[in-house]
């Protein structure tokens, strides 16, 4: 078994990419599985050593907990395991599986098309803004997806936030010919998105290859009392989140 140190102590790679396994053992007969954060971790490979010469009776009262841990991007396949785990590398306590095979199916969504979504806002006039926080040019767009069954679909939008910290407002790019005092606000439905945070679940899919469309809106947002004319462009990264 190959250890995965980055995933924590006692984690070993399974036969499915992105999934590790850890086993904890407790010698206290508590009538329930061991708390893996408090119990002794079972290590691999096993080895042996001679016992001390004195005689002693020791009754094993063991409880175990098997924990599967995400170690990377999860693939599909069957998790199989060695037939035995042992405590602390010494064969004094073993957990044996007569047969262990757990099917794993990776589920998620894919964005329809190239994966790049471009939203073209209409031309706007600086004098048509009201006070700070006023908007213009609301333009609807959507995030088109095709999803597996049984997926709770959410998303996270990351990008440079406007210094005003107005909700859901991305900063306009800077440079020659760029407008100032205005950003681009992104909304889902009528509510501004929270940049850098995973959204609430949008939908729970019920069938394979289910088409999902998340309705969004982008619009100009006045962030300063003075707006200087120029071009407006903002870039964000969309990360899908599944459970």
Task: State whether 68 and 153 are in the same domain.
Answer: no
pLDDT number for residue 106: 74
Task: State whether 100 and 114 are in the same domain.
Answer: no
pLDDT number for residue 229: 93
Write the DSSP assignment of the chain as a string of letters.
--B-GGG-TT-EE-SSTTEEEEEEEE-S--SS---TTTSEEEESS-B--PPPSS--------EEEEEEEE-SS---EEEE--SEEEETTBTTSEEE-S--EEEE----EEESTTS-----PPP--GGG--STT-EEEEEEEEEEEEE-TT-EEEEEEE--B-TT--TTEEPPPPSTTB-BSEEEEEEETTEE--TTSBPPP-EE--STTEEEEEEEEEEEEE-SS--B-SB-----EEEEEE-
pLDDT number for residue 3: 83
Low-confidence ranges of the chain (pLDDT < 70): 26-40, 42-63, 81-100
Number of domains composing the chain = 2
Task: State whether 124 and 74 are in the same domain.
Answer: no
CATH number at residue 161: 2.60.40.1090
Task: State whether 204 and 152 are in the same domain.
Answer: yes
pLDDT number for residue 6: 82
pLDDT number for residue 213: 95
Task: State whether 27 and 93 are in the same domain.
Answer: yes
pLDDT number for residue 2: 84
Q: Structure pTM?
A: 0.65
Task: State whether 97 and 116 are in the same domain.
Answer: no
Residue 28's domain spans which residues? 5-104
């Amino acid at each position: 078994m190959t250890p995965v140190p980055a995933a924590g102590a006692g984690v070993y790679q399974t036969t499915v990419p992105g999934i590790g396994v850890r086993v904890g053992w407790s010698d206290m007969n508590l009538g329930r599985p061991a708390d893996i954060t408090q119990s002794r971790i079972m290590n691999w490979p096993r080895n042996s050593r001679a016992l001390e010469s004195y005689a002693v009776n020791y009754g094993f009262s063991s409880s175990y907990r098997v924990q599967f841990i995400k170690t990377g991007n999860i693939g599909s396949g069957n998790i199989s395991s060695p037939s035995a785990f042992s405590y602390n590398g010494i064969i004094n306590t073993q957990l044996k599986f007569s047969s262990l095979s757990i099917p794993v199916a990776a589920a998620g969504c894919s964005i329809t098309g190239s994966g790049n979504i471009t939203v073209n806002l209409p031309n706007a006039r600086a004098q048509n803004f009201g006070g700070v926080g006023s908007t213009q040019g609301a333009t609807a767009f959507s995030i088109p997806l095709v999803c597996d069954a049984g997926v709770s679909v959410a998303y996270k939008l990351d990008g440079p936030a406007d210094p005003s910290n107005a909700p859901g407002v991305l900063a306009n790019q800077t440079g020659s010919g760029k407008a100032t005092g205005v950003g681009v606000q992104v909304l889902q439905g009528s509510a501004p998105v929270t940049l850098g945070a995973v959204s609430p679940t949008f939908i729970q899919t019920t069938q394979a290859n289910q088409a999902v469309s998340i309705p969004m809106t982008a619009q100009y947002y006045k962030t300063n009392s003075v707006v200087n004319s120029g071009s407006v462009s903002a870039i964000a990264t969309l990360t899908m989140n599944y459970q």
